[in-house]
Structure 1
Amino acid sequence: MPILLNCDLGEKVHDNDALLMPFIDQANIACGLHASDPQTISHTIQLAIKHNVAIGAHPSYPDKANFGRVTMPLSQPALESVLHYQLAAFSQLCELNGTQLRYVKPHGALYNDMMKDHDIFTTLCHVIAQMFTDVSLMIQALPNMAPFIHIAKHYNISIISEAFADRNYQDNGLLVPRSHSYAMVNDSTQVKQNIANLLNTGHMTSTSGKTLPLSVKSLCVHGDNEHALAIVKQIRQQIDEYDRTS
Structure 2
Amino acid sequence: MIDLNADLGEGFGRWQLTDDERLLSVVTSANVACGFHAGDAATMRRVCALAAERGVQIGAQVSYRDLAGFGRRSMDVPSAELAAEVAYQIGALEVFARAAGSRVSYVKPHGALYNRVVHDERQAEAVVEGVLLADAALPVLGLPGSRLLEVAEKAGLPAVTEAFADRAYTEEGTLVPRGENGAVVTDPDVVVERSVGLARSGVVNAHSGREIPVRARSLCLHGDTPGAVDLARRVRAALQAAGVRVEAFA
**1:198 CA drift (Å):** 1.8
CA contact (8 A) 2:166 2:191 kept: yes
Q: Return the alpha-carbon distance in structure 1 between the equivalents of residues 163 and 64 of structure 2.
A: 22
> In percent, how many aligned pairs have the same letter?
32
Give the aligned length: 241
**1:196 CA drift (Å):** 2.6
Q: Which amino acid aligns with 1:48?
A: A
Q: Which amino acid aligns with 1:53?
A: V
TM-aligned CA distance change 1:124 to 1:15, over 3 Å: closer
Q: Aligned to 1:102, what secondary structure does the other structure show? A: strand
Q: Show the 5 A alignment for 1:73-88.
A: 73-88=76-91
Q: Return the alpha-carbon distance in structure 2 between the equivalents of residues 244 and 35 of structure 1.
A: 32
5+ residue gaps, structure 2, are 246-250
**1:176 CA drift (Å):** 0.9
CA contact (8 A) 1:186 1:227 kept: no
1:39 aligns with 2:42: yes
TM-aligned CA distance change 1:66 to 1:244, over 3 Å: closer
Counterpart of 2:175 in structure 1 is 175
Q: Aligned to 1:243, what secondary structure does the other structure show? A: coil
**1:210 CA drift (Å):** 2.0
Q: Return the alpha-carbon distance in structure 2 between the equivalents of residues 244 and 119 of structure 1.
A: 37
Counterpart of 2:8 in structure 1 is 9
TM-aligned CA distance change 1:200 to 1:131, over 3 Å: closer
Q: Show the 5 A alignment for 1:223-242.
A: 223-242=223-242
Q: Aligned to 1:23, what secondary structure does the other structure show? A: coil
TM-aligned CA distance change 1:123 to 1:156, over 3 Å: same
Q: Return the alpha-carbon distance in structure 2 between the equivalents of residues 47 and 181 of structure 1.
A: 36
TM-aligned CA distance change 1:119 to 1:235, over 3 Å: same
Q: Which amino acid aligns with 1:232?
A: A
Counterpart of 2:131 in structure 1 is 128
Q: Aligned to 1:8, what secondary structure does the other structure show? A: strand
Counterpart of 1:220 in structure 2 is 220
**1:244 CA drift (Å):** 6.1
CA contact (8 A) 2:2 2:244 kept: no
Counterpart of 1:201 in structure 2 is 201
**1:149 CA drift (Å):** 4.8
Q: Return the alpha-carbon distance in structure 1 between the equivalents of residues 209 and 184 of structure 2.
A: 16
Query: Which deviations, in whole Å up to 9, do the C-alpha atoms of 1:158-182 show, x marking residues without a partner?
Result: 0111100111111111111111231
CA contact (8 A) 1:3 1:217 kept: yes
Q: Taking structure 1 as the reference length, what is the TM-score of the superposition?
A: 0.92
Q: Taking structure 2 as the reference length, what is the TM-score of the superposition?
A: 0.91
Query: Which deviations, in whole Å up to 9, do the C-alpha atoms of 1:127-185 show, x marking residues without a partner?
Result: 212221321000013xx46x655422221100111100111111111111111231111
RMSD: 1.7
Q: Return the alpha-carbon distance in structure 1 between the equivalents of residues 150 and 226 of structure 2.
A: 37
